[in-house]
Amino acid sequence: MNEETIRARIAPLEDYIMKHCLWQFHSREWDRVRQNEGILSKAKQLLCEEPVAKDTPEDRCYWVDALALTEAFQKRFAWLKEMDKESIEVLMHALKERIDFVTITGSLNKELTSPRY
Amino acid sequence: MPYHEFECSTCIPERKSHAVLKGEEDDLTTCLPEGHLATIPGTISERGCAYCGAKHVIGTPMKDAIHMSHGPVGCTYDTWQTKRYISDNDNFQLKYTHATDMKETHVVFGGMDLLKKNMIEAFKAHPEINRMTVYQTCASALIGDDMEAMAREVMKELPGTDIFVCNAPGFGGPSQSGGHHKINISWINEKVGTVEPKITSDYVINYVGDYNIQGDCEVMCDFFKRMGIQVLSTFTGNGSYDELRGMHRAHLNVLECARSAEYICNELRVKYGIPRLDIDGFGFGPLSESLMKVARFFGLEDRAQAIIDEEVARWKPELDWYKKRLTGVKVCLWPGGSKLWHWANAIHEEMGVEVVSLYTKFGHQGDMEKGIARAEVGTLAIDDPNELEGLEAMRMMKPDVIFTGVRPGEVAKKQRIQYLNAHAYHNGPYKGFEGWVRFARDIYNAHYSPIHQLSGIDISKDDFNIDKGFMTRQMISDVKLTPEEAHVEGETPYTGEFDCVTPLRTKTYPSELTRSTTAQAV
Amino acid sequence: MSCDLRAKERSGIINPIFTCQPCGAQYVSIGIKDCIAIVHGGQGCVMFVRMLFAQHFKDNFDIASSSLHEDSAVFGATGRVETAVDVLLARYPHVRVIPIITTCSTEIIGDDIEGVINKLNNGLLKEKYAGREVHLVPVHTPSFKGSMISGYDVAVESLVKAFAEQTTPNGKINLITGWVNPGDVTALKHLLAMMQIDATVLFEIESFDSPLMPDKSGVSHGETTVEDLKDTANAVGTIALNRYEGGKAAKYLEKKFKVPSVIGPSPIGIRNTDTFLKQLQTMSGKPIPEALVKERGIAIDAITDLAHMFFADKRVAIFGAPDLVISLAEFCIDMEMKPVLLLLGDDNSGYKKDDRIKALQANVDWDMEIIMNADLWELDDRIKNKGLKLDLIMGHSKGRWAAIDNHIPMVRVGFPTYDRAGLYRHPVVGYAGAIWLAEEIANTLFTDMEYKRNKEWLLNVW
């Protein structure tokens, strides 16, 4: 998968997350780091049919969001089914980087780093 | 940054960074207005105060407590009977409000004795109620009355009573939001963990950030109960004081309005390890997904699926009837905070309306991130709007309908723009599947109102038709549809009742649903 | 048989009848043309009052805030008034009058409003707004004194004081209406027109009931001008219809400019309207025309159909603005009803000395209570827990639950009346108001009889 394909495929995934999800918008940076990591890594595992930890309440909570996300992806983007695990892994890694950028590192939200609420 | 400068605000340059027009190439790293900053005096901003955010928005929906404000009478009067947060105990919280009635002598000599007398009198007036919330106001904060000390004294003198003190004076922060924060933190610090709740199910949640506007919260709790889930507390719509003291025993916090109530969920996560799950109770898709997430957390997906199937089958044809007729209708989504993101995409996808502008009175940048993320290209997003900017935005965006509050709604009316009450709703509830159809119906009824059509005719100048004695809404709306589109088997306008909430209160739920059959309960 | 006058015994308020002073001042401000007030305090002090007005009138009114935040509470906030005045003037070129209305917080902080106005007059207004006529008027309405009623009174006085200027006699009568509705102003102006009297009406608020226009030009705002206010010093006399809402200004004009004043009674009911006309006659020297005899006759004709058949001995509780409550009680008595409970909702000690209350105390021949500094619990508690029997409640919308929960019919009257449609459009003053009140009472009782199946057959023949 070349970079252009990745970019082209990430765009609708990102659009879906932005329009339908809330988990990426917790109010502080440290929390967004945690949320993006928790949910997107589980989403990758689900798409790659890897085992997903869901023993702790925290893990379970991430898992339900991740599952909702991957189901929506699979329903909307037929090309996901055609992709092999390796490519999915690459794609999801790039997606996470993009979401981290939009919601954390590139975010214009000045409250993200505020030590108080 | 695609800032939008209003002509009316060129003389206050700091306003420029409070509005953006989302462009084709924009994302959140290029397009986000300022938020939650001090209000510019004299702009005729629509913001309220922190006292209102604490007392009026979050405190008072609690249904079984006496709500008392320590200060002059105005704060109490003004925040009484201006909301539609109902409850299943005959609306005690809507009917009764208490002011200590601080006068000049108390300002000079202190108001602590006055407060104490008031608390005792209030408990005496309502012998059936032994819980109380007391709110600081600007006046009592400035004179420095120690309200906690008085509350402790009264609790000692009147065993069996419990009093919660909230110190969120009106001037505390740029808007209502400061009060949301203070009451969240005070509640978790002072009250959560002081009652051990009765656990009646293997699946236990707190439903947080819903204020039971026209019954929203009760509609949502019905879904949870149908799945066998115990709703330990509702923060705070239709909420019970003692149930909210037991929030720490839930397995999951299900959060709706993250603007007003994320704080308590975050604290519950830190202090008690209860995860926070943000959901959307508005819209068929978001609601279905939300119910499924909650269900999955407990391994109850079959139950959620059954509910979703039943509800969608019952109400989808009616939503479709409206969607067809609402497609392309332009709306301004101008609420207080969370609805701008709850609704922005759902009304677009599921009702076909075009959201041309968003605004938030008391939202932070995080709310605008969610709103702008969910809005389409070309949307004008405004933080802390004021009167003139609102009018300019209306002229610029030419919306058909505006979702906003009572007073701004009257401004829109004069501009010949229909309005729906985004805070209290016109004919809610709007949550739930049926509620979503009710929302669509309200938008339809506003947009296709025959009187609205007549309001544009200048009988002194226009050449108007006199061939009709009346117009039905459908005569207006269906002009743009082919007969095949207009008449689809099963699709009808809303067929529900005027009151769809009261019947929920006498429903019973099978208790066997509350027990997990496997050992894998959470 | 007695009329018992006393203050509420509890220290606090359960369900208030009134809000605080700044609201009254804001109500006055929206009656003045080219005027936007700045309320110096927290944002809620404005936001909720605007909402209250919007609820009552189903229309928008513009009032600004100095948006007091935490830092101002600590360090003082006159700077925010300066910014507010500048921003308001820059963005609203038509504004000529800016009342600066204080609240509890800014009075406690001790902000020097006169000082800041002085500073602005000599600085900002001279420099940035040179050549523009702008009047900054201090209105002190700390929320911990009086109520919205006294706030109204204080604001009318402050504005009259700020503007009244003796030049040449204008031959007009000053009519200070008090806190009334657009429908009342229409009715009052009608009576003045019939008497051929030229009057300065404070405040011209008929336009609060504004149209939705095809060209979107409709706007709700009062129309009393700066010139009208200035000219009040040159009138032949002042009639303040309500003692507690405008009486202060009438007294000021009398004391300062020798403009004779008559204060009250509010022209509610036949008898009080007769009195009002007589006052106008005395002050203007003009006769009461025959056309008003006819109008009065229509009102009496309508009431005659109702009073002894349906109203006699009906027990009524009335709450709200003191002048309104007293006048309504008087009218009810004329219509053979029995007001048994009057609630006056603030701590004004003047009520005890009010002649109208003294007359009730001296003459009422059934048991009647008048509670001062009252709240709505005084009503609710008596009905729920103390056996008070009522046939009718009269008052504003905030008392709606006392009626609903206790199944007592209620006529909405006063301010605010947001839970009934369009009441601001109807007068309670004058003969027209007498008709409206009598028929509203009758129809409310009739609906209740039918709803409760309480001798509903009576109306088969009427």
Q: Could you tell me how far CA A101 lies from the centroid of its own chain?
A: 12
Q: Which residues of B touch A108 (CB under 8 A)?
A: 28-30, 32, 365
Domain contains A113:
no
Element (H, E) at C118: helix C113-122
Looking at the DSSP bridge assignments, the partners of residue C14 are B98
C222 torsion bin: left (phi>0), alpha (psi -120 to 50), beta (else):
beta
Chain A 32-61, CB below 8 Å of chain B: which residues? 57-58, 60-61
Contact predicate B255/A65, CB 8 Å: no
A2 touches chain B (CB under 8 A): no
pLDDT at B457: 96
Show the beta-strand stretches assigned E in C173-232: 173-176, 199-202
Q: How far apart are CA B15 and CA B36, in angstroms?
A: 13
Mean predicted confidence (pLDDT) in C36-45: 97
Give residue B91's identity as a one-letter amino acid code: N
Ramachandran angles phi, psi of C425, nearest 5°: -80, -20
Contact A107 B29 (CB under 8 A): yes
Q: Could you tell me how far CA B259 lies from the centroid of its own chain?
A: 10
| Tens digit of each residue's pLDDT (9 = 90 or more) over B269-299 | 999 999 999 999 999 999 999 999 999 999 9
Q: Could you tell me how far CA B263 lies from the centroid of its own chain?
A: 16
With bands split at pLDDT 50, 70 and 90, how would you rate the model's confidence at C76? confident
Domain contains A115:
no
Contact predicate B72/C20, CB 8 Å: yes
Q: How far apart are CA C322 and CA C343, in angstroms?
A: 8
pLDDT at C72: 85
Domain contains A116:
no
Contact C143 B73 (CB under 8 A): yes
Q: Could you tell me how far CA C164 lies from the centroid of its own chain?
A: 22
In angstroms, the first-to-last Cα distance of chain C is: 34
What are the tokens at C349?
Answer: 């000690």
C443 touches chain B (CB under 8 A): no
Chains that touch B (3 or more CB pairs under 8 A): A, C
Whether B519 has a pLDDT exceeding 50, the answer reads no
Contact predicate C8/C70, CB 8 Å: no
Q: How far apart are CA A83 and CA A71, in angstroms?
A: 15
Closest CA to B345 of B324, B326, B372: B372
Interface of B with A (CB under 8 A): 27-30, 32, 34-36, 181, 185, 251-252, 258, 262-263, 266, 273-280, 285-286, 289, 292-294, 296-297, 341, 345, 364-366, 369-370, 373-374, 522
Whether A116 has a pLDDT exceeding 80, the answer reads no
What are the tokens at A51?
Answer: 């085992």
pLDDT at B522: 46
With bands split at pLDDT 50, 70 and 90, how would you rate the model's confidence at B337? confident
| Tens digit of each residue's pLDDT (9 = 90 or more) over B408-436 | 999 999 999 999 999 999 999 999 999 99
Q: In what order do the strands lie in the sheet with B66-70?
A: B162-166, B131-136, B66-70, B98-99, C13-14
Q: Which residues of B touch C399 (CB under 8 A)?
A: none
Chain C 228-247, CB below 8 Å of chain B: which residues? none
Contact predicate B409/B394, CB 8 Å: no
- Token look-up 């009198």 returns B121
Domain contains A27:
yes
pLDDT at B122: 98
SS3 label, residue A46:
helix
As to burial, measured by CB atoms within 10 angstroms (0-12 exposed, 13-18 middle, 19+ buried), residue C275 is middle
Q: How far apart are CA A111 and CA C29, in angstroms?
A: 39
Structural domain that includes position A74: 3-106
Percentage of chain A lying above the pLDDT 90 cut: 95
Residues 6+ apart with CB under 8 A from B36: A111, B174, B175, B177, B362, B363, B364, B365
SS3 label, residue C65:
strand
Q: How far apart are CA C400 and CA B96, in angstroms?
A: 11
Q: For residue B374, give the nearest of A18, A58, A67 by CB distance.
A: A18
Whether B520 has a pLDDT exceeding 90, the answer reads no
SS3 label, residue A106:
coil
Average pLDDT, chain B: 96
Show the beta-strand stretches assigned E in C276-409: 315-320, 338-344, 368-372, 392-395
| Tens digit of each residue's pLDDT (9 = 90 or more) over B374-387 | 999 999 999 999 99
Q: Which residues of B touch C95 (CB under 8 A)?
A: none
Selected for mutation to probe chain A from B289, B301, B343, B376 (highest A CB count within 10 Å) is B289
B399 touches chain C (CB under 8 A): no
Q: How far apart are CA C452 and CA B83, in angstroms?
A: 29
Give residue C159's identity as a one-letter amino acid code: L
Whether A117 has a pLDDT exceeding 70, the answer reads no
Mean predicted confidence (pLDDT) in C312-324: 98
What are the tokens at B306?
Answer: 């059954």
| Tens digit of each residue's pLDDT (9 = 90 or more) over C132-170 | 999 999 999 999 999 999 999 999 999 999 999 999 999
What are the tokens at C254?
Answer: 């009398």
Selected for mutation to probe chain A from B24, B278, B370, B374 (highest A CB count within 10 Å) is B278
Domain contains A76:
yes
What was the ipTM of the complex prediction? Answer: 0.97
pLDDT at B518: 57
What are the tokens at A30?
Answer: 């440290």
Contact A61 B277 (CB under 8 A): yes
Q: For residue B51, give the nearest of C23, C44, C143 by CB distance.
A: C44
| Tens digit of each residue's pLDDT (9 = 90 or more) over B238-281 | 999 999 999 999 999 999 999 999 999 999 999 999 999 999 99
Centre a 10 Å sphere on the Cβ of residue C382 and count the other Cβ atoms it contains.
20
Ramachandran angles phi, psi of C284, nearest 5°: -100, -20
Chain C 99-118, CB below 8 Å of chain B: which residues? 103-105, 108-109
| Tens digit of each residue's pLDDT (9 = 90 or more) over C278-302 | 999 999 999 999 999 999 999 999 9
Centre a 10 Å sphere on the Cβ of residue B201 and count the other Cβ atoms it contains.
23
Whether B329 has a pLDDT exceeding 70, the answer reads yes
pLDDT at C1: 75
Q: Which residues of B touch C45 (CB under 8 A)?
A: 49, 74, 78, 170
Task: Please report which residue ranges of A21-109 form alpha helices under DSSP H.
Answer: 29-47, 57-76, 79-82, 85-100
Q: Which residues of B touch A64 (CB under 8 A)?
A: 277, 292-294, 296-297
pLDDT at C294: 98
What are the tokens at B171?
Answer: 């001037």
| Tens digit of each residue's pLDDT (9 = 90 or more) over B78-98 | 999 999 999 999 999 999 999
Average pLDDT, chain C: 97
Mean predicted confidence (pLDDT) in B343-367: 97
Q: How far apart are CA B468 and CA A75, in angstroms?
A: 50
- DSSP class per residue in B176-238: THHHHHHHHHHHHHHTTTSS-PPP-SSSEEEEEEE--BTTHHHHHHHHHHHTT-EEEEEEETT
Average pLDDT, chain A: 96
Ramachandran angles phi, psi of C263, nearest 5°: -115, 115
Mean predicted confidence (pLDDT) in C372-391: 98
Give residue B430's identity as a one-letter amino acid code: Y
| Tens digit of each residue's pLDDT (9 = 90 or more) over A60-86 | 999 999 999 999 999 999 999 999 999
Contact predicate B260/B272, CB 8 Å: no
Q: How far apart are CA C450 and CA B132, in angstroms?
A: 40
| Tens digit of each residue's pLDDT (9 = 90 or more) over C245-285 | 999 999 999 999 999 999 999 999 999 999 999 999 999 99
Mind telling me how many Å the CA of A89 is from chain B's nearest CA? Answer: 24
Domain contains A64:
yes
Domain contains A15:
yes
Q: In what order do the strands lie in the sheet with C135-139?
A: C64-65, C38-40, C97-102, C135-139
Dihedral sign of CA atoms C407, C413, C419, C423 in order: positive
Mind telling me how many Å the CA of B303 is from chain C's nearest CA? Answer: 40
Task: Please report which residue ranges of C232-305 form alpha helices under DSSP H.
Answer: 247-257, 269-284, 290-304
| Tens digit of each residue's pLDDT (9 = 90 or more) over B440-456 | 999 999 999 999 999 99
Closest CA to B153 of B118, B116, B178: B116
What are the tokens at B130?
Answer: 């032994």
- How wide is the angle at C-alpha C51 spanned by C-alphas B100 and C428, nearest 5°? 90
Contact B29 A102 (CB under 8 A): yes
Whether A1 has a pLDDT exceeding 70, the answer reads yes
Task: Please report which residue ranges of B362-491 form alpha helices under DSSP H.
Answer: 365-374, 387-397, 406-414, 432-447, 450-454, 473-477, 483-486
Percentage of chain A lying above the pLDDT 70 cut: 99
What are the tokens at B152?
Answer: 């402790």
What are the tokens at C345?
Answer: 């909702």
- How do C13-14 and B418-421 pair as beta strands? unpaired
Mean predicted confidence (pLDDT) in B136-146: 97
Q: How far apart are CA C399 and CA B395, in angstroms?
A: 40
Percentage of chain B lying above the pLDDT 90 cut: 98
Total domains present in chain A: 1
Domain contains A111:
no
Q: Which residues of B touch C400 (CB under 8 A)?
A: 81
- DSSP class per residue in B102-142: --HHHHHH-SHHHHHHHHHHHHHH-TT--EEEEEE-HHHHH
DSSP-assigned letter for residue B376: P
**Residue of chain B whose Cα is closest to the Cα of C59:** B410
- How wide is the angle at C-alpha A21 spanned by C-alphas B379 and B185, nearest 5°? 100
- Token look-up 């919280």 returns B93
Mind telling me how many Å the CA of C54 is from chain B's nearest CA? Answer: 5
